[in-house]
Amino acid sequence: MYNAQIHNIGIVLHPETGHLFYHPGFQPLALNFELIFIRHGETFGNCGQSTSDGKIDNNLVLSGIKNKNYRVFQGNVDTEINQLTQKGQQQAQEAAKMLERGYLATGWIPDVIYHSPLRRARETGMPFVKQYRFEKIYYPLDGICEMSFGNWENKRICDFKPDAPCHLLYCQQNALVKDMKNDYLPESENFYDVLTRAYYTLSELNQKHQGARIIFFSHSMFGAACCILTGHGQQIENDKYLAFDGRRSNSEYYTMPHAVPFLLT
């Protein structure tokens, strides 16, 4: 269950609740490179324009209605509902402008740009990459893909029974819960698995890209893991454990907003 390296830097996992805490002696994972992290733009699955069988609800799209109750567990999948909406495509254009104004204009030029192999992340980066001719340094990186939800993938959250364990992920910030039915997929992950994967991915890049400037086009759960590891984790309201999904009492999400650059160095 425990990863020794994560435990040693001061991230504590409670085995019963699945809660994550920063130990008083926590030392953030030091990066030997500068990292800008960008979550992909809005998708049909994110905004709730999806049917119970994992398709795009064209009636909702045509009417412009976005029903958050119909959002899905969107993980390491690449079907039609996982692609960028029109708003998501606009967000990708805006991300390019934010990168230009906030970084390129100040002389911050990337040495390498990595994108998740999933199309929604790759396409979020394309306006920036094409406009500034960074195609030769734009690479897929498996390690920064989204959390794999197993048989929960692309199923609407509202279609699960109220006592289903999947709700513990975003309602209770349980880092240990995952799909464990008899037919569960062996590649399914819980958030602690993603945290471990993020640790090893960032550590490998420390060896490979010392002193470099790097951009990630990736996903919300992997982004939350990177934030926690680098000391940017958020505490849940009215308690001390760390939040990585779900919403605050004012309805704001703990997850990164779509297509907004964050400097995680």
Computed on alpha carbons and rounded to an integer, the radius of gyration of the chain in Å comes to 18
Q: What is the pLDDT of residue 133?
A: 97
User: Strand 112-115 and strand 213-218: pairing?
Assistant: parallel
Q: What is the pLDDT of residue 184?
A: 59
Q: Over 70: is that where the pLDDT of 183 sits?
A: no
Q: What is the pLDDT of residue 180?
A: 73
Q: Rounded to whole angstroms, how far apart are CA atoms 157 and 179?
A: 14
Mean pLDDT for the stretch of residues 14-28: 95
Q: What is the pLDDT of residue 185?
A: 63
Q: What is the amino acid identity at position 50?
A: S
Kindly report the pTM of this predicted structure. 0.95
- Structural domain count of the chain: 1
Mean pLDDT for the stretch of residues 73-85: 96
Q: Over 80: is that where the pLDDT of 74 sits?
A: yes
CATH code of residue 223 = 3.40.50.1240
Q: What is the pLDDT of residue 186?
A: 66
Q: Which of 64, 82, 61 is nearest to 72 (CA)?
A: 82
Model confidence band, residue 261 (pLDDT cutoffs 50, 70, 90): very high
pLDDT in tens, 184-208: 566 789 999 999 999 999 999 999 9
Mean pLDDT for the stretch of residues 7-15: 92
Domain range for 129 is: 4-263
Q: Rounded to whole angstroms, how far apart are CA atoms 190 and 143?
A: 15
Helix (H) or strand (E) holding 94: helix 86-102
Q: What is the pLDDT of residue 8?
A: 86
Q: What is the pLDDT of residue 22?
A: 96
Model confidence band, residue 4 (pLDDT cutoffs 50, 70, 90): confident
Going by C-beta distance under 8 Å and a sequence separation of 6 or more, which residues neighbour residue 146?
Answer: 74, 75, 76, 116, 118, 218, 219, 220, 221, 222
Contact status, residue 222 vs residue 256, Cβ threshold 8 Å: no
Q: Over 60: is that where the pLDDT of 182 sits?
A: no
What secondary structure does DSSP assign to 42-54, as a single string? PBHHHHT-B-TTS
